[in-house]
Amino acid sequence: MPDLNAPESSSNSRAVERALDESKQVKKTVEEAADELAVVHVVLDKGVSEDARTDDLDRAIEQTDQIEKKLSKSVDLLEKVAEALETENHKKAS
């Protein structure tokens, strides 16, 4: 008897594979943004003397640090999503 779920399973497998590829690309983009923001943070924090800083600049420096941390957490979460998708894809392929 033919497997009536085969086309749907194949379609689901392709969807999981596509989601995996897209999540890896997003992870790479977020990682790059976090790295670039970390550089901006260091330049602002170390490149501007304490005497030349304004309250606005100090807030901006703090914000760059907080945003970089959020992006890094997002990278970690995207890594977990990619791992879960890979596991699911391997299960479907078996």
Each residue's pLDDT expressed in tens, for the chain with a length of 94 residues: 445 455 566 777 888 889 889 999 999 999 999 999 999 999 988 988 888 889 999 999 999 999 999 999 999 999 999 999 888 888 877 7
pLDDT for 65 equals: 92
**Could you list the residue range(s) of the whole structural domain that residue 27 is in?**
6-93
Token digits of residue 64: 């760059």
Q: How many domains does the chain have?
A: 1
pLDDT for 6 equals: 53
Q: Is the torsion defined by CA of 53, 54, 55, 56 positive or negative?
A: negative
In a domain, 60, yes or no: yes
Contacts of 54-59 spanning 24+ positions with Cβ under 8 A: none
Residue 4 three-state SS: coil
Contacts of 85-89 spanning 24+ positions with Cβ under 8 A: 85/16, 85/19, 85/20, 85/23, 86/20, 88/16, 89/13, 89/16, 89/17, 89/20
In a domain, 36, yes or no: yes
pLDDT for 59 equals: 93
In a domain, 30, yes or no: yes
In a domain, 1, yes or no: no
In a domain, 28, yes or no: yes
Reported in sequence order, the residue ranges of the chain that DSSP labels E, i.e. its strands, are none
